[in-house]
């Protein structure tokens, strides 16, 4: 938003790259659509990391989501 307003912005990242990080991911329900589109075999063959759920942490609280359920 600052850059869009014409303000100079510098982004600093303290982590060392490459690091394990899921930047973008698809939920398991997307696999159905990829199968219908005929591309699921190619996606699986590409060796992408598969997510079967999620852990969300907010302060001291943790929530887990198991997409297999």
pLDDT at 8: 94
pTM, 2 dp = 0.46
User: Domain residues of the chain, as ranges?
Assistant: 15-69
Percent of the chain topping pLDDT 90: 30
pLDDT tens for residues 29-41?
788 899 999 999 9
- Cα separations (Å) of 51 from 23, 27, 43, 65? 12, 7, 14, 11
Report residue 19's pLDDT band, with 50, 70 and 90 as the boundaries: low
pLDDT at 52: 78
Q: Are 40 and 26 in contact (CB under 8 A)?
A: no
CA separation for the pair 31, 39 (Å, rounded): 9
Report residue 69's pLDDT band, with 50, 70 and 90 as the boundaries: low
Q: Where are the alpha helices (DSSP H) in the chain?
A: 30-36, 40-45
């Amino acid at each position: 938003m600052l850059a869009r307003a014409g303000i100079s912005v510098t982004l600093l990242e303290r982590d060392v790259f490459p690091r394990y990080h899921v930047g973008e991911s698809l939920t398991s329900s997307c696999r159905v659509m990829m199968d219908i589109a005929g591309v699921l075999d190619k996606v699986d063959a590409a060796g992408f990391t598969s997510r079967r759920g999620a852990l969300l942490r907010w302060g001291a609280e943790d929530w887990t989501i198991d997409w297999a359920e």
